[in-house]
Amino acid sequence: MTAAYEYETHVYDVVVVGAGGAGLRATLGMAEQGLRTACVTKVFPTRSHTVAAQGGIAASLSNMGPDHWQWHMYDTVKGSDWLGDTDAMEYLARSAPAAVYELEHYGVPFSRTEEGKIYQRPFGGHTTEFGEGPPVQRTCAAADRTGHAILHTLYGQSVKNNAEFYIEYFAIDLIMSEDGQCQGVVCWKLDDGTMHVFNAKMVVLATGGYGRAYFSATSAHTCTGDGGGMVARAGLPLQDMEFVQFHPTAMACGIDPAPLATEALRGEGAVLVNRDGNRFMLDAHPDAELAPRDIVARAVYAQTQAGLAPALDTRTALGAKILTDFPAVAAACQQAGLDPVTQVIPVAAAAHYHMGGVATDADGASTLPGLWACGEVASTGLHGANRLASNGLLEALVYLSLIHI
């Protein structure tokens, strides 16, 4: 049979599509096992959307007070609106401390306590004693550039382990056999328009979310749902697509994508106020600014709709420390012409994360033989209807790093 167009063929054991946190962790996990691994990505790996992840990784390290993986699991169950898959949640919470220490050993420069332990900060919805005890500082971060640090580290480690990167290759479609097996992926090389076929025993989708479907999103322009599209075209259903998370404190300053004013700021004591100076979260939830994310997002949205101009006030809690402890937020403020040391930061709810996607089991396997998915494109059921803050980077790390084929 003659092909309709010229293409170059590449053969690997594994082809990973996407080089954000999940894609790089999967790439590294496969390459470390000695598998011939290709990672195809439409942007340079360290420019993937994970670079914008400020807050951190939830893990019950107990560096800042008593904690337990079961309490983390409980918070994940509760945060999901009780709709999550408990096997996936247990796996996540149990695996978290090891995943963080592994990253530390790979070289991620985590923020430290005075004793030199990994610093953990408070985020909404993280408690102790199965919700009966006080909030816990559970989120491990590298200042407010956690995603940035993770990408650089995982990319370096992947290259060291001989993973091969195909950068600025746009994955277009899955290659399916007549008996319904996924055998590879077709890509379009962006700089010269040539077509490339990657054949592999294992195709891993790590293409992220589809935030760009929304007018206002924290997602990079690259988050266009490519993986979900390929899977749908191959005839596989997507699950839980109605579960979309909105971040309550995207900066409302005319920049697109909307920069995050990370929840960590609220963890460190920043408060939400409106145009009248009213701290409106006090009436909305007993945990005020650290209520679960969907509750804060709804309250912020209601303020915006009422024309009350919600804003984040970091001045008393952080003062000038915002410039050093939250350099990414400070840089976004500067870009917007705001001085967060003396001014409040205007905020709005914006599309942030998609809980639904390609249905996978706890090993990341889809129902299509030969196809796996991990990170935001996947839907293990882990997050139910609402992802607990700082479980997103964690999810990217714990699935698909150790699968054997």
Footprint of ligand SIN on this chain (CB under 6 A)?
54-55, 260, 262-264, 389-390, 392
Q: Which backbone phi and psi does 137 adopt, to 5 degrees?
A: -90, 105
Quote the least distance from Cβ 137 to ligand SIN, whole Å.
14
Quote the least distance from Cβ 293 to ligand SIN, whole Å.
8
**Given 293, 298, 315, 387, the catalytic residue:** 293
On whether the CB atoms of residues 142 and 110 are closer than 8 A, the answer is: yes
Please state, in angstroms and rounded to a whole number, the distance separating the CA atoms of residues 56 and 145.
8
Quote the least distance from Cβ 307 to ligand SIN, whole Å.
25
Residue whose C-alpha is closest to residue 145's, from 22, 57, 63: 57
Quote the least distance from Cβ 138 to ligand SIN, whole Å.
12
Containing 15, the helix (H) or strand (E) segment is strand 7-17
Question: Would you say 200 or 261 has its CB closer to ligand SIN?
Answer: 261
Quote the least distance from Cβ 55 to ligand SIN, whole Å.
3
How big is the CA angle at 48 (ends 143 and 357), to the nearest 5 degrees? 105
Amino acid found at 148: H
Q: Buried b vs exposed e over 227-258: b needs ≥16 C-beta within 10 Å?
A: bbbbbeebebebbbeebbbbbbbbbbbeeebb
Reply yes or no on whether 293 is catalytic.
yes
Question: Would you say 143 or 182 has its CB closer to ligand SIN?
Answer: 143
Question: Would you say 219 or 262 has its CB closer to ligand SIN?
Answer: 262
Question: Would you say 187 or 347 has its CB closer to ligand SIN?
Answer: 347
Number of residue whose CB is nearest ligand SIN: 55
Starting at the earlier edge strand, list the strands of the sheet with 135-140.
Answer: 57-58, 135-140, 120-127
Amino acid found at 86: T
Question: Would you say 13 or 81 has its CB closer to ligand SIN?
Answer: 81
Quote the least distance from Cβ 259 to ligand SIN, whole Å.
11
Containing 236, the helix (H) or strand (E) segment is none
Question: Would you say 74 or 353 has its CB closer to ligand SIN?
Answer: 353
Distances (CA, A) of 131 to 7, 158, 289, 354, 389: 56, 39, 17, 25, 15
Q: Catalogue the active-site residues.
A: 293
